[in-house]
């Protein structure tokens, strides 16, 4: 049965409900609630053009009826803060300044661009006192060059205050592993089994060290300056994580391990022993000594201690 297409008369179209005073926005998946007057506070901008019309019929919406804007949802909070009081307050060591500048260009906020402009222009200089918090926004080539300088142990790199502020920090590597203790004549025995290598620390620092090998699915959309304990690596080779940390100028400063075993009456040679181990790394601790003596000695000693611990436990 064919149904007649409903067409609203011109009088009803003109009487469409206007914008509410409080508007819900979906910006790139992030939900914001603000007043319509805030979005109209700066004339001749895309936001003013969107919400200055009489009726919101033509604006795109999401499944819940919120107005949808296809931009960076995380950075829009700073755009919205600027629209409220014409001021910009960024976190310390904010790494997304250039991307925020692009958002300001898209929304045609000239005053916000003027605020961001001087610091973005100075980000290549490491000697200016006013741009210490802008080192993380340097270009990728400058970032790699600084990483090589820090890893080389040169006095001008690791001991400079700007390099310390940029690269210093703790990263904790934790994993739950198991050992299979079998008889000596069984050559197919598998020793250490690592289920997952977890990464804890500052998000920006963890991304810098591990890059694309870092799985962020358990704690997505976190600001780079925040901390997390829910990231894990896409590989399960512990020494590969050690290599990446060593190449980034980290060395191990502490470790701990806990082990569990079966009861005596339930013990078998092939019983699996499980443990949880954490390695705490810090960047630029005594870089000259680290360069001279190397960083693998303490890592190997801990691994040997861990193996000896389970070896002794299996003989109880």
Gap between the Cα atoms of 163 and 235, Å rounded: 29
Q: Measure the N-to-C terminal CA separation of the chain; round to a whole number of Å.
A: 82
pLDDT tens, position by position, 159-216 = 444 445 556 889 999 988 776 665 655 555 556 778 899 999 999 999 999 988 999 8
pTM of the entire predicted model: 0.40
292 and 181 belong to one structural domain? yes
173 and 145 belong to one structural domain? no
Give residue for tokens 């949802």: 73
What is the tally of structural domains in the chain? 3
pLDDT band at 107 (very low <50, low <70, confident <90, very high): very high
221 and 242 belong to one structural domain? yes
Q: Tell how many helices (H) and how many strands (E) occur in the chain.
A: 12, 9
Full residue range of the structural domain in which residue 277 is found: 167-314
Two structure tokens written together for 102: 């692009």
175 and 307 belong to one structural domain? yes
pLDDT tens, position by position, 142-159 = 444 444 444 444 444 444
Gap between the Cα atoms of 52 and 133, Å rounded: 38
Question: What's the mean per-residue pLDDT of the chain?
Answer: 73
Two structure tokens written together for 244: 């990446």
β-bridge pairing 67-69 and 22-27: parallel
Gap between the Cα atoms of 19 and 67, Å rounded: 11
pLDDT tens, position by position, 51-72 = 887 667 778 889 888 999 999 9
Gap between the Cα atoms of 116 and 114, Å rounded: 5
84 and 202 belong to one structural domain? no
């Amino acid at each position: 049965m064919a149904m007649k297409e409903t067409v609203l008369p011109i009088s009803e179209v003109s009487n469409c409900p206007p914008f509410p005073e409080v508007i819900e926005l979906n910006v790139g998946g992030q939900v914001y609630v603000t007043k319509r007057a805030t979005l109209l506070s700066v004339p001749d901008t895309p936001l003013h053009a969107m919400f200055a019309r009489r009726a919101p019929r033509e604006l795109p919406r999401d499944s819940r009826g919120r107005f949808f804007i296809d931009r960076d949802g995380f950075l829009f909070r700073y755009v919205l803060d600027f629209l409220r009081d014409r001021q910009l307050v960024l976190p310390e060591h904010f790494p997304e300044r250039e991307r925020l500048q692009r958002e300001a260009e898209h929304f045609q906020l000239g005053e916000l661009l003027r605020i961001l402009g001087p610091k973005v222009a100075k980000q290549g200089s490491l000697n200016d006192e006013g741009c210490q918090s802008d080192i993380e926004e340097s270009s990728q080539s400058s970032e790699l060059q600084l990483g090589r300088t820090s890893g080389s142990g040169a006095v001008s790199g690791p001991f400079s205050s700007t390099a310390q502020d940029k690269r210093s920090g703790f990263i904790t590597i934790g994993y739950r592993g198991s050992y299979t203790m079998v008889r000596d004549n069984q050559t197919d025995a598998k020793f250490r089994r690592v289920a997952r290598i977890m990464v804890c620390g500052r998000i920006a620092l963890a991304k810098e060290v591990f890059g694309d090998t870092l799985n962020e699915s358990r704690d997505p959309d976190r600001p780079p300056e925040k901390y997390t304990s829910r990231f894990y690596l896409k590989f399960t080779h512990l020494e590969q994580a050690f290599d990446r940390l060593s190449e980034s100028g980290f060395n191990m400063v502490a470790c701990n391990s806990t082990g569990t075993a079966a009861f005596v009456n339930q013990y078998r040679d092939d019983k699996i022993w499980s443990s949880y181990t954490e390695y705490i790394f810090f960047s630029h601790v005594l870089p000259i000594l680290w360069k001279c003596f190397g960083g693998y000695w303490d890592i190997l000693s801990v691994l040997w201690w861990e193996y000896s611990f389970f070896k002794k436990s299996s003989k109880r």
